[in-house]
Structures are given as structure tokens and as C-alpha cells.
């Protein structure tokens, strides 16, 4: 897809971080954008800021883990803007711990948003892109979808699933609807609010400081620092636009993480057991 002006995009998780940057980038290219997010306040603020900058946007409050909500996003694109060309299934949350200790509510929440949210988007948006004459789908996974680091099983599982679904779909679209492209976005650390994901967790209340185990607090602090030093979301959004333009499937934003992927595949093929490799190694 090389013509963006006047076309229609939907972005889930549009009120913060990477989704906000994607929305800004699409609006800057003259696209009309359906902004979707579970957080009504920040979503409305995003819509107002984009409108003030001259963009044509429409906001839909939606929980991507509910198919009816995602259908409403697709309907808004058709009803308000008359078509759909680019769909970014981007909303996501982080949750982890030791695989056997993470409570089942956390497993269900993370898989519900990160995996089923994407599946719902594929169901709601792909037929509408086809009906609009073609376009592009962008699924946000993570480098966690290409590696298996400890302490993040629910997140890793959801992102690995999104990678393989997208790889299958790339082949399926090439065979059936070559007018629809697809990309998988796999970032390393990006400066967003992903480490505050629990703000969107149904029924969640912040734990009292003293109830958090020391090791957990330490890990949180480490991740907070890595995210604070992460890539700017606008840089990621520009790489996504380039990938859509060039019909590139894999969008890997952090070259220093690629050794981890190589190490995993090498171990798998040589019969070695999993080992811990950090970014930059
Ligand atoms: N920040 C990183 O380091 C990083 C790295 C790799 C992948 N990612 C992925 O990028 C995507 C965007 O996350 P981000 O980093 O911008 O974080 P973020 O928290 O800044 O933005 C995520 C957005 O998704 C929304 N959201 C959460 N649950 C939702 C739900 N059920 N329905 C609809 N919207 C919901 C949030 O309100 C928020 O606006 C996620 O899929 C995340 O897993 C982030």
C-alpha cells in the first residue's frame, strides 16, 4: 500500500504509547482514523488533540477482549468513514510471574486482551478491508513472541500465538487476497505505559506497597528503568508505516535483540536445552 491520503485506519490501544504514535502517524499522512481504547478519558483526550491538529478521527471506547466491542470498531470505520484500509491490532497488557504460580485470572486477562483481542480484530476487520478493495493489517506482538524469557509466560504465550497466527495469515492472504498485506510488529523496550497495564485490569485494585515481595518489586523497578530508556513510540510508528509501504512482514525494531532469537533457534535445532540470553548478546 503506498497511498495513505484519504484512506481509513483503525488502531486499538490508541490512547497511549505505540497505538497513540501509530494514530498520529496515520493522521499525519492524511488518513481518517478510528481510535479505539478501553480507557475512555485518555481516548477522548487523544481524539481532541488529533482533531485540534486538523485530523479526521472518530473514537470508540472498546474492550478488545469482547468481540461485540471490536465489531463496533469495524462498524464505525464503515459507517463514519465509508471503508477500512489499515487495521492495527495493537492493544495489549503485560502480566507475568512464575508460570505455575500466576493466577488463572491473570492468564485469562492477558490471553483475552493480547491473543483474543487480535483474533477479534482479524474477524472484524479483515472482511471489511477486503470489501473496501484491500489494504494492510498490522498485529502488535513483541520480541517476547520470538523468545522465551523467564517470568513472563502469559505474555510470551500470547505474543508467540500472535506471531504464528500472523505468519499463517500472511500465506493465506497471499493465496486468497493478495490485495491485503500483513505485518507483525515485534518491538523490544519502548517508552510507553505498558508497565502500568494493571490500570486496565477489570476489578483490579493496587496492592498495598508492603504486600509486594521484594524480588517482584526489584524486577518491576528494573523493567520500569528499561522502559524509561526504551525507544520512542514515534520511531516505532515510522517503521510500521515504512513496512506497510514496502509490504514488509517482519517489523523488528531492536537489532540488539536478534541474537536472542538466533540463540533460541540454534538451541532448538542442535538439541541443546533453553538458556538465558539477554539483549545485546
Ligand atoms: N512498550 C514496550 O516495551 C512493548 C514492547 C513490545 C510490545 N509491546 C506491545 O505494544 C502494544 C502497545 O502497548 P504500549 O507499549 O503502547 O503500552 P500502553 O499501555 O502505553 O498502551 C496500551 C494501550 O492499550 C489499551 N488497552 C489495554 N487493555 C485494553 C483492552 N482490553 N481493550 C482495548 N484497549 C486496551 C490501554 O488503555 C493503552 O491505551 C501492546 O500489545 C504491547 O504488548 C510493547
CA distance 193 to 223: 11
Q: Which protein residues touch ligand 1 with a CB less than 6 Å away?
A: 12-13, 15-19, 37-39, 62-65, 90-93, 113, 140, 142, 187, 189-190, 192-194, 197, 200, 227, 230
Atom of ligand 1 nearest to the CA of 14: 39
Whether residue 32 is contained in a domain is answered as yes
Closest protein CA for atom 30 of ligand 1: 63
Give the pLDDT of residue 222: 86
Whether residue 47 is contained in a domain is answered as yes
CB atoms < 10 A from the CB of 102, how many? 18
CA distance 233 to 109: 24
Whether residue 277 is contained in a domain is answered as no
Give the pLDDT of residue 229: 95
Packing angle, helices 17-28 and 40-52, rounded to 10: 20
- Number of domains, the chain: 1
Give me the mean pLDDT over the 254-265 stretch: 96
Give the pLDDT of residue 218: 78
Closest protein CA for atom 43 of ligand 1: 92
Locus of grid cell 500470547: 158
Residues designated catalytic: 155
Whether residue 118 is contained in a domain is answered as yes
CA distance 43 to 91: 13
Confidence grade of residue 209 (pLDDT, cut at 50, 70, 90):
low
Question: DSSP string covering 64-110, please?
Answer: TTSHHHHHHHHHHHHHHHS---EEEE-------B-TTTS-HHHHHHH
Answer whether residue 221 shows pLDDT above 90.
no
Mean pLDDT for all residues in the chain: 95
Whether residue 1 is contained in a domain is answered as no
User: 48-98 pLDDT, tens per residue?
Assistant: 999 999 999 999 999 999 999 999 999 999 999 999 999 999 999 999 999
Answer whether residue 202 shows pLDDT above 60.
yes
Locus of grid cell 466491542: 69
Q: Do the Cβ atoms of 251 and 243 come closer than 8 Å?
A: yes
- The three-state secondary structure class of 177 is coil
Q: Output the CA 277–ligand 1 centroid distance in Å.
A: 25
Confidence grade of residue 252 (pLDDT, cut at 50, 70, 90):
very high
Give me the mean pLDDT over the 135-143 stretch: 98
Q: What is the CATH number of the domain that holds 250?
A: 3.40.50.720
Whether residue 162 is contained in a domain is answered as yes
Whether residue 275 is contained in a domain is answered as no
Rounded to two decimals, what is the model's pTM? 0.96
Whether residue 281 is contained in a domain is answered as no
- Residue 183 phi, psi (nearest 5): -135, 150
CA distance 247 to 139: 14
Half-sphere exposure of 10 (CA within 13 A, CB side): 36
CA distance 8 to 13: 17
Give the domain range for residue 82: 8-270
Give the pLDDT of residue 206: 73
Amino acid at each position: 500500500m503506498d497511498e495513505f491520503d484519504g484512506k481509513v485506519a483503525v488502531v486499538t490501544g490508541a490512547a497511549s504509547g505505540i497505538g497513540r504514535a501509530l494514530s498520529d502517524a496515520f493522521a499525519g499522512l492524511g488518513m481518517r482514523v478510528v481510535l479505539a481504547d478501553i480507557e475512555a478519558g485518555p481516548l477522548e483526550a487523544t481524539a481532541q488533540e488529533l482533531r485540534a491538529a486538523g485530523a479526521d478521527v472518530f473514537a470508540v471506547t472498546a474492550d478488545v477482549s469482547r468481540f461485540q466491542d471490536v465489531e463496533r470498531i469495524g462498524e464505525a470505520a464503515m459507517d463514519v468513514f465509508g471503508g477500512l484500509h489499515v487495521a492495527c491490532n495493537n492493544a495489549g497488557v503485560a502480566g507475568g510471574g512464575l508460570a505455575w504460580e500466576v493466577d488463572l485470572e491473570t492468564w485469562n486477562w492477558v490471553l483475552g486482551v493480547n491473543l483474543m483481542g487480535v483474533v477479534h480484530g482479524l474477524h472484524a476487520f479483515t472482511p471489511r478491508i477486503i470489501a473496501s478493495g484491500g489494504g494492510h493489517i498490522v498485529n502488535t506482538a513483541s520480541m517476547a513472541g520470538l523468545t522465551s524469557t523467564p517470568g513472563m509466560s502469559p505474555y510470551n504465550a500470547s505474543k508467540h500465538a500472535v506471531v504464528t497466527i500472523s505468519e499463517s495469515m500472511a500465506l493465506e492472504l497471499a493465496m486468497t487476497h493478495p490485495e491485503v498485506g500483513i505485518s507483525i510488529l515485534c518491538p523490544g523496550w519502548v517508552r510507553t505505559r505498558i508497565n502500568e497495564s494493571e490500570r486496565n485490569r477489570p476489578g483490579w485494585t493496587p496492592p498495598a506497597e508492603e504486600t509486594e515481595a521484594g524480588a517482584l518489586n526489584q524486577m518491576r523497578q528494573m523493567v520500569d528503568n528499561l522502559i524509561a530508556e526504551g525507544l520512542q513510540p514515534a520511531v516505532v510508528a515510522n517503521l510500521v508505516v515504512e513496512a506497510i509501504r514496502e509490504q514488509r512482514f517482519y517489523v523488528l525494531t531492536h537489532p540488539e535483540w536478534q541474537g536472542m532469537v538466533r540463540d533460541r533457534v540454534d538451541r532448538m535445532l542442535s538439541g541443546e536445552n533453553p538458556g538465558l540470553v539477554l539483549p545485546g548478546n
